[in-house]
Structure 1
Amino acid sequence: MSRRGWVLFLAMSVIWGIPYLLIKVAVDEVSPETLVFLRCLIGAALLLPWTIARGQLRPVLRHWKALLLFTVLEMAGPWFLIAYAEQTLSSSLTGLLVAGVPFVAALAALLLGEEERLTPVRLLGMAIGVVGIGVLLGLDVDGAQLLPLLAIGLVLVGYATGPLVVTRALPDVPGTAASSIALFVTAVVYTPFALPQLDGTGQVSAPAWWSLAALGVLCTAIGLALFFALIREVGPQRALVITFVNPAVAVLLGVWLLGEPFTLGIALGLPLVLVGCVLATRRSPARTEPSELADVDSAVP
């Protein structure tokens, strides 16, 4: 990997490891609807002019049906559900549970005929990952957290199936352009829910505002731009490795900055989930590299 590739990789490992921390801080003072609206509004305001200036708006809009489905599966649905779940769950536990996306993605791709067969190594990885998530749920979760856990389950399904929509319907669409339009559409969808609540934002603390700003600027606009730059630099499969680092960053920041407990469930579940991710996402050496948006199971947290 080139020096530029390493810089992009390290940057993305951190940038997409901190959203869970920022969401936790912000959602204590603003509603999930308002959080998603402001995050997408900021991201769209930064990325959409770039898309228009490069003349990519009309070509992307030709695929508007698939783009709407991608928006629901990757942004409009998951970002609201994560914010809702973090009203109850810790940021570290949420980040670690979302790391289960590669397992669901591998299974969904197999069922829909988009993936090569599951080798014994990949099956072992999925089994290890499921055990890791089971350890987390068994040791760190009580009955009162059922709805937030169901919300994260829906997040996994959305993040896992979103790339399949891209593979089938958006293989040649520039990633940043598609993301900018998805951000704009999501902001529009949440506008009627968020606007009535904006009057109360005068009571929101500075840390929450800074978290919202960082979420929109750093984790969304800059994060998406750097992610697709990373794909162009090192290829989709190497870029996927950030999926294995993000949960560790989420856990570290949650414990260090928010004082969340480093529980026995996290201590045992984290290495199991990470090892499972590595094994479950191993590809056949003969497989060709897909386009920048087409086959990356890394979710936008």
Structure 2
Amino acid sequence: MNSSQRYDTRAWLLFAAMAVLWGTPYLFISVAVESYSPAAVVAGRTLLGGLLLLPFAIRRKALRPAFEKIGWVLLFGAIEMAGPFLLLGHAEQTLPSGLTGLLVATVPLFAAIIAFGGGDRSALSPARSIGLFVGFVGVFVMVAGPGLAVDGGNGSIAVGEVLLVALLYAIAPFFIATKLRDVPSLGSITLALLAVGIFYTPIAFLTQHQVPTLKDTLALIALAVPCTALAFITFFALIARVGPVRAPLFTYVNPVVAIVLGTLILGEPLTFGLLIGFPLMMAGCWLAATGSTVRARKVKPDLTPNARS
């Protein structure tokens, strides 16, 4: 970890941008899947996002370094995009968008466990261990609490799908910070988006049985442009700034954006289970990811030629 990996002014600006850019997709996904199949949503948002970024990646000569590590780029695309985007689309055919955003906010819980497994013993300090327990209690209360419209096997499967998304989202930043650290972010993102889009296009044609509406198409475009292309550029910048464990902290704010939009625009209810479980999960995530602080340990600056500024 270098000296820049803390929340300075630039990092907080990136944090705020990510809170909005990845707090709104749950609304757009919920709208888009009304007439698009989940696979069509994935194909549309990734292909359009990748094509938008392609000329910029070519101009900055960012594709060749990404091709040199194409295996890791494709693995990143599978973990961060191919799996999660499809799972979210399928889950939001059952779950409210606000609850989906809340469940995805468990990313820091999984990130703490992964960091511990990777040798960071401080990731499961007493405070962080308590945070893990409290966070998962909060998830249980939200899912099983009274008034929550998640009934039957389909609801349980959808909840499991979203928690799997959170796990995949927790794994991806570690790939970015290690295997793709020296690859221009624009090249990695562009190749990954295009690869996922090409993979899902034939599946989209096979699973699309409705004529998409204008409203759902506009939601899909919103998913592709700000929520995918722009968001991934911002995400890579945040990881470079604060590291793979602290970067997902913006997921604390994503649920607030998702709940507000879901309530105001889609008329989704605020249940007793959400009102009780939400603060428990937030407190647990905070402790699990930070041990009650977001400050990085003070270390000597890395003055090697490859050090990031």
TM-score bin, normalised by smaller chain: 0.7 to 0.9
Tell me the amino acid that sits aligned with residue 286 of structure 1.
R
Q: Tell me if the contact between 1:73 and 1:158 (Cα under 8 Å) persists in the aligned partners.
A: yes
Tell me the amino acid that sits aligned with residue 108 of structure 1.
I
* Structure 1 position 143 matched with structure 2 position 165: no
* Structure 1 position 100 matched with structure 2 position 106: yes
Which one of 7, 15, 24 corresponds to residue 21 of structure 2?
A: 15
Which one of 196, 203, 212 corresponds to residue 186 of structure 1?
A: 196
Deviations 1:134-161 (A, max 9, x none): 1011112323312212222321221122
TM-score normalised to structure 1 length: 0.86
Cα separation, 2, equivalents of 1:235 and 1:90: 31
Q: Tell me if the contact between 2:246 and 2:290 (Cα under 8 Å) persists in the aligned partners.
A: no
Deviations 1:84-106 (A, max 9, x none): 00011110111101111111121
Structure 1 pair 150–63 and aligned structure 2 pair: CA distance change class (3 A): same
Q: How does 1:163-182 map to 2 (within 5 A)?
A: 163-182=173-192
Q: How does 1:36-47 map to 2 (within 5 A)?
A: 36-47=42-53
Aligned residues: 287
Structure 1: gaps (5+ residues) = 291-301
2:18 aligns to what SS in structure 1? helix
Partner of 1:64: 70
Deviations 1:213-239 (A, max 9, x none): 10001111122223344556x644765
Q: Tell me if the contact between 1:60 and 1:178 (Cα under 8 Å) persists in the aligned partners.
A: yes
Cα separation, 1, equivalents of 2:168 and 2:46: 18
Q: Tell me if the contact between 1:92 and 1:251 (Cα under 8 Å) persists in the aligned partners.
A: yes
Tell me the amino acid that sits aligned with residue 266 of structure 1.
L
Structure 1 pair 218–168 and aligned structure 2 pair: CA distance change class (3 A): closer
* Structure 1 position 246 matched with structure 2 position 254: yes
Structure 1 pair 185–135 and aligned structure 2 pair: CA distance change class (3 A): same
Q: Tell me if the contact between 1:248 and 1:270 (Cα under 8 Å) persists in the aligned partners.
A: no
* Structure 1 position 153 matched with structure 2 position 166: no
Tell me the amino acid that sits aligned with residue 23 of structure 1.
I
Cα separation, 1, equivalents of 2:170 and 2:199: 22
2:129 aligns to what SS in structure 1? helix
Cα separation, 2, equivalents of 1:73 and 1:231: 16
Tell me the amino acid that sits aligned with residue 51 of structure 1.
A
1:30 aligns to what SS in structure 2? coil
* Structure 1 position 27 matched with structure 2 position 33: yes
Counting aligned pairs with the same residue, the percent is 42
Cα separation, 2, equivalents of 1:257 and 1:282: 33
1:241 aligns to what SS in structure 2? helix
Note the C-alpha offset of 1:115. 5.9
Partner of 2:59: 53
Which one of 249, 263, 269 corresponds to residue 261 of structure 1?
A: 269
